[in-house]
Amino acid sequence: MARILIIDDEELICGMLETLFDRAGHEVDTAHDGIMGLEIYQEKPAQVVITDIIMPESDGLETIKNLKQINPDVKIIAISGGSRIKQVDFLEVASDLGADHAFFKPLDHTKLMQAVDSCLVS
């Protein structure tokens, strides 16, 4: 299958997504901030990166920009659990920066899996 990198400062989200994609047969790496995520990506490039937007150290928007500089073709899914008012703006900016899909938390696992599948075929 594919290598997926999950970047989220919430351990529960990382664990849940790791289990979801592992069960689907994917290789999964996790990172708890954008800095760690970039380090892992450079060591073991992933076909799909799922990144939270609001994180300490290096936020998701900065992470998306850096990933696209490293590999303009990397497929990125942005996720955010921020406030409903600000969330739309963050996800729109993430899309403008090159995210292929963007989802609000709580996540719909079926839609997220479909988004990953679409990233892998494009």
Tens digits of residue pLDDT in 12-63: 999 999 999 999 999 999 999 999 999 999 999 999 999 999 998 889 999 9
- Residue 19 tokens, joined: 């289990």
Helix axes 34-43, 60-70, angle to 10 degrees: 20
Report yes or no: 7 and 55 within 8 Å, Cβ to Cβ: yes
CATH code for the domain of 62:
3.40.50.2300
- Residue 60 tokens, joined: 């998701």
pTM score, whole prediction:
0.94
Domain count, the chain: 1
Least Cα distance to 30 among 11, 51, 63, 6 occurs for 6
Residue type, 68: K
Which domain range does residue 23 map to? 3-121
Give the pLDDT band of residue 90 (cuts 50, 70, 90). Answer: confident
SS3 call for 111 = helix
Residue type, 81: G
